Structure 1
Amino acid sequence: MEDKHSQPHAIMVPIPLQGHLIPHIHLATKLASHGFTITSVNTQHINHQITNIRYKTVSDGFPLAFNRFQNHN
């Protein structure tokens, strides 16, 4: 039986044309900020073009559970 409190999951596939990837990422980020788990699917061609982008994370000094939107100071 499916858990009624499970997180929604969206699988997103952008149109592999110039100008579609950035809006796709913006929408994915917006959905993720509202509790969605996002799986983004790209063609091999698009993935090959963006493989020189490396993602790294750094700490902002607060724990992940800290509400940054209600604590701007």
Structure 2
Amino acid sequence: MKYGKLIGYSVNDGKSVSQVHLPEISGNKEVDIGYMGHDEMAIVENSFCQRFPIYKDGDSNANPTGGMRQIQYKLVA
């Protein structure tokens, strides 16, 4: 299994730097259903997008049959 991880930083008015936190998929019961990794991550316009295949019961790690799920995140102060 391949799980994605984000390490990011935000510059605050050129004066300081803050680490960006991305919540774990396993902490969100709605999003966690069918999750087994294989994340794709990208910046799309002004959002950070995380996308991954959805596994149904009985699917092998190499053959997900539940489609794809995409989560969009926005940076907030």
The structure with the greater share of residues assigned to strand is 2
Length-normalised TM-score, structure 1? 0.19
Q: Which has the higher contact order (CA 8 A, sep 6+)?
A: 1
The structure with the greater share of residues assigned to helix is 1
